Amino acid sequence: MSTENTAPAAPSNFIKAIIEDDLKTDKWGGRVHTRFPPEPNGYLHIGHAKSICLNFGVARDYGGKCNLRFDDTNPLKEDVEYVDSIQEDVRWLGFDWDGRCFYASDYFERIFECAVALIRKGLAYVDSLSAEDIRAYRGTLKEPGRNSPYRDRSIEENLDLFMRMRAGEFPDGAHVLRAKIDMKSPNVVMRDPTLYRIRHAAHHRTGDAWRIYPMYDFTHCLSDSFEGITHSICTLEFENNRELYDWVLDALGMYHPRQYEFARLNMTGVVLSKRKLIKLVEEGVVDGWDDPRMPTICGFRRKGFTPESIRDFCERIGVARSNNLVDYALLEHCLREDLNARAPRVMGVLKPLKLTIVNYPEDQTEEFEFPFHPENEAMGSRKLPFCRDLYIERTDFLENAPKKWFRLAPGMEVRLRYAYYVRCVEVVKDASGEVVEVRCEYDPATKGGWSNDGRKVKGTLHWLSARHAVPAEFRLFEHLFLTGGAAANVDDPEAAAASLNPNSLETLRGFVEPGLADAEPGWRCQFERTGYFVADTKLTRPGAPVFNRTTGLRDSFAKELQKG
């Protein structure tokens, strides 16, 4: 990378370029109409956020529309719980479908009519091969497929069988409806793809009305067409399916949107596949879909991420056709930029160590003024009590400190933020030899945390008055898998279990400043020197706050950017 130009290049988005071109040539009569088409078979993850920001984003940017469409054609895996969560997540990300929330299942009757029309045109047939035989007849990438012996059924016979499939006369798997295209096509997708299958299963919306369900490839293009979509944007795995998308709509002579494929988001450290995420939930590896360690949108929300930071991230990664791996640190970088500007700074001690000021009057209490934000006076300030008995962070003290230790150690002097200089004069240990208390002397002439004799200290510690502090729980997170998303891609349960990070959740019992006793669930802050946190939306209680660490303060990505 060149060091001369450090300005980040504008993220490229080839979809936008296409849309701008289409607007210039008036291809769609000035319309831009996209859709976000999740299957309600799980919660949305950060990869879906990329698709949401793209589809809703271009609609917003070019005065168009974006539909939310549930692609609910598989009754076995789908559920209203997922429908509700998807709507909540899209809204939380800051997008709105303006009343255009559709369901593929609402089109089942129209899709059925399209299938009948294909049969009448001699372009679809009922096949009675077993699933296994259908696979064997399909051939491979190197070998052409073979025609099914049922391929030349008459239109009448096909219509009769298809109606009886609908009526529920046959068991699952007895027949399927297939498009009659070309068993020798170099594109395997085009080798007489299945359009309908028998499923004696209740659907979460249509109940028992249907015994046959349309396949994704058939449903998707038709739904796009019914809704007047212009740009049907999907991920690269569907590239080969575009030919079928086009075939169906051309065969039926219907309104024909154009499909475009982009590279799905892959990110270091996380697994982005609903199928695998479901496993983590079902096997109890995590505490539900919104466990803060999950890369789901609701997991990020519970962890304290902001919708703004996720939208910023999606903007920065751009949209391209080549697969790549995005650094998780970029998402955290976007988050810190957002939180740095607006999170109030407050005091919390995660791993408390008693600090006693031996020369401070036993019954005295003072108050010191703390601003909520160092660069934003408008955020105001509050007073924090100070007394002889304090808590500091255990990690801020070392008995045998190395040379460049600027925090507290025997004989060393540090600043207690906005309060006084203190010097460690004694260390108290328990029977096991663990330090349980440090005893210090303070210098009354350093009130406010400044010395007027020019004496300097290198370290500034955060602290809390032990007499006033409120007990709080802190939950710190690491990635779920030791080896990141890649190794977790194994489907072998043993290997997956072995790659689990035993430290992915650490719970600490510490203290926060008095004003946070009743922190509102979802309230975000920065605990000085320890990171950004959010009051957990499920676990926090009045008087007993529980804080999730959203992210630490150190921005490894900013360093990467500097290095160039």
Q: Which residues are catalytic?
A: 39, 264, 274
Rank residues 153 and 274 by Cβ distance to ligand ATP and give the closer one: 274
Element (H, E) at 356: strand 352-357
Least distance in angstroms from the C-beta of 318 to ligand ATP:
12
Least distance in angstroms from the C-beta of 264 to ligand ATP:
3
- DSSP strand E in 173-293: where? 176-179, 194-198, 212-214, 231-235, 258-262, 266-267
d(CA 441, CA 448): 16
Residue 265 interacts with which of Mg ion, ligand ATP, none, CB < 5 to 8 Å by class: ligand ATP
Least distance in angstroms from the C-beta of 238 to ligand ATP:
7
Least distance in angstroms from the C-beta of 263 to ligand ATP:
8
Candidate ranges 31-39, 138-146, 189-197, 497-505; the one touching Mg ion (CB under 5 A): 31-39
Question: Of 278, 405, 408, 317, nearest to 355 (Cα)?
Answer: 408
Candidate ranges 36-44, 217-225, 234-242, 380-388; the one touching Mg ion (CB under 5 A): 36-44
Rank residues 82 and 532 by Cβ distance to ligand ATP and give the closer one: 82
Q: By beta-carbon distance, which residue lies closest to ligand ATP?
A: 47
- DSSP conformation class of 388: S
Residue 176 interacts with which of ligand ATP, Mg ion, none, CB < 5 to 8 Å by class: none
Residue 139 CB burial class (10 angstroms; 0-12, 13-18, ≥19): middle
Rank residues 235 and 356 by Cβ distance to ligand ATP and give the closer one: 235
Structure tokens at 165: 């499939």
Letters for 60-99 (x = contact with Mg ion by CB under 5 A, - = none) are ----------------------------------------
Least distance in angstroms from the C-beta of 315 to ligand ATP:
14
3-state SS record for 154-182: CHHHHHHHHHHHHHCCCCCCCCEEEECCC
* Sheet with strand 345-346: strands edge to edge: 345-346, 524-527, 531-535, 546-551, 470-477, 505-512, 348-349
Cα-based distances in Å from 341 to 18, 30, 92, 417: 35, 39, 20, 21
Cα-based distances in Å from 420 to 346, 367, 428, 462: 18, 12, 22, 11
Structure tokens at 545: 């706050």
Rank residues 40 and 348 by Cβ distance to Mg ion and give the closer one: 40
Residue count of the chain, please give it. 564
Q: Which residues bind ligand ATP (CB under 6 A)?
A: 37-39, 47-48, 50-51, 234-235, 264-265, 272-275
Rank residues 194 and 273 by Cβ distance to ligand ATP and give the closer one: 273
Least distance in angstroms from the C-beta of 50 to ligand ATP:
4
Rank residues 39 and 308 by Cβ distance to Mg ion and give the closer one: 39
Instruction: Give residues in contact with Mg ion (CB under 5 A).
Output: 39
